[in-house]
Structure 1
Amino acid sequence: MSSETPRFDADFLWGASTASYQIEGAVTEDGRGETIWDRFSHTPGKVRNGDTGDVACDHYHRWQTDIDLLKRLNLNAYRFSVAWSRILPSGRGPVNQAGLDFYSRLVDGLLEAGITP
């Protein structure tokens, strides 16, 4: 057995991933539409403790701090999901510019921090 510590290649991506509903919060802000999970989680008795994604980790407001945390962890990749209810609030029809702007700011912030979205 070798006593050398295994090393990852220099181009190995260390990252994290999240799901929009679990972290964003801000479910009624900037034109976001209702999702099936919003309705389900607000139905009494459906979710333990009555927990919802209304606030979650408040990533929608704290995304810059979240990027700082990724940097402090020395991560160089971040995979996130897009809340389509933020982009197409009614499921079809006009695009919600505020939703696009949020994800644009997030991607720009990640790139500026040297993190691959």
Structure 2
Amino acid sequence: SYQIEGGQESDRGTAIWDSFAATPGNVKNADTGRNACDHYNLWPTDLDLVRDAGFDAYRFSFAWPRLIPDGTGAASDPGVDYYDRLIDGMLERGLKPFATLYHWDLP
């Protein structure tokens, strides 16, 4: 999710990768995932492209900093709502959702 979602300013806590990328010298050109591919905002268009390319499935990852921004406690309603909309969008387009539960993105 870090590599594609972006949306760092929207309904999301700090991820371990945010801290790593913010440390000078860790990442070439000081690039970060702040915007990434902006999938957080562009997911409807992205899913249309996947469907129109003839695929019938889409793999995505949960950003735990979006679901549990503080790293502990209850899930964030905006985070849950985002993934609910994303999964519903896949199903509406005939795409089978394949969720990755952990891909190096923790609060």
Q: Normalised by the size of structure 1, how large is the TM-score?
A: 0.81
Q: Check if 1:35 corresponds to 2:20.
A: no
Query: After the TM superposition, which residues 1-117 of structure 1 pair with which residues of structure 2 at under 5 Å, given as runs?
Result: 20-30=1-11, 32-117=12-97
The separation in 2 between residues aligned to 1:34 and 1:46, in whole angstroms, is 17
Q: Please give the root-mean-square deviation of Cα atoms over the aligned residues, in Å.
A: 0.7
The SS at the match of 1:94 is: coil
Superposed CA offset, 1:10-69 (max 9, x none): xxxxxxxxxx00000011212x11011001101111100111000000000000000011
The separation in 2 between residues aligned to 1:76 and 1:22, in whole angstroms, is 22
The separation in 1 between residues aligned to 2:58 and 2:51, in whole angstroms, is 10
Shift of 1:94: 2.3
The SS at the match of 1:95 is: coil
The SS at the match of 1:55 is: coil
Percent identical across equivalent pairs? Answer: 55
The SS at the match of 2:61 is: coil
Opposite residue 54 of structure 1, the aligned amino acid is: R
The separation in 2 between residues aligned to 1:36 and 1:99, in whole angstroms, is 17
Q: Which runs of 5+ in 2 are unaligned?
A: 98-107
The SS at the match of 1:108 is: helix
The separation in 2 between residues aligned to 1:82 and 1:59, in whole angstroms, is 12
Q: Which runs of 5+ in 1 are unaligned?
A: 1-19
Aligned residue pairs total 97
Shift of 1:84: 0.6
The separation in 2 between residues aligned to 1:94 and 1:115, in whole angstroms, is 29
